[in-house]
């Protein structure tokens, strides 16, 4: 299974792309801790989507792993803590 994760929107979002489509999540970085806000959006029209258990178990660990080891400018890696926060829809 091929996937791609990118920081987007001035590092205020994460875009996760796989064969199922494009998932987007708001994120913030404060005091060395990334926060991923759920629910995210899905597709070209940014529809709010609550992840199924299957999607959550596939996507969230990959996003957490990516954010925990961000490489700035492609060279400088730094380790971060990552938390996932559920927001009311």
Q: What ranges do the domains of the chain cover?
A: 3-86
8 A C-beta contact, residue 25 and residue 40: yes
CA 58/CA 35 separation, integer angstroms: 18
Q: How do residues 25-74 score in pLDDT, each as one tens digit? A: 999 999 999 999 999 999 999 999 999 999 999 999 999 999 998 876 66
Whether pLDDT at 1 is above 90: no
8 A C-beta contact, residue 31 and residue 83: no
pTM comes to: 0.89
Q: What share of the chain is helix, strand, coil (3-state, %, to 5)?
A: 20, 55, 25
């Amino acid at each position: 299974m091929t996937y791609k994760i990118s920081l987007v929107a001035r590092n205020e979002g994460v875009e996760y792309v796989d064969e199922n489509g494009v998932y987007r999540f708001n994120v913030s970085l404060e005091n060395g801790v990334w926060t991923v806000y759920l629910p995210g959006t899905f597709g070209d029209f940014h529809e709010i989507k609550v992840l199924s258990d299957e999607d959550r178990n596939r996507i969230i660990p990959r996003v957490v792993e990516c954010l925990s080891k961000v490489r700035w400018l492609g060279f400088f890696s730094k380790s971060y803590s990552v938390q996932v926060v559920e927001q009311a829809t």
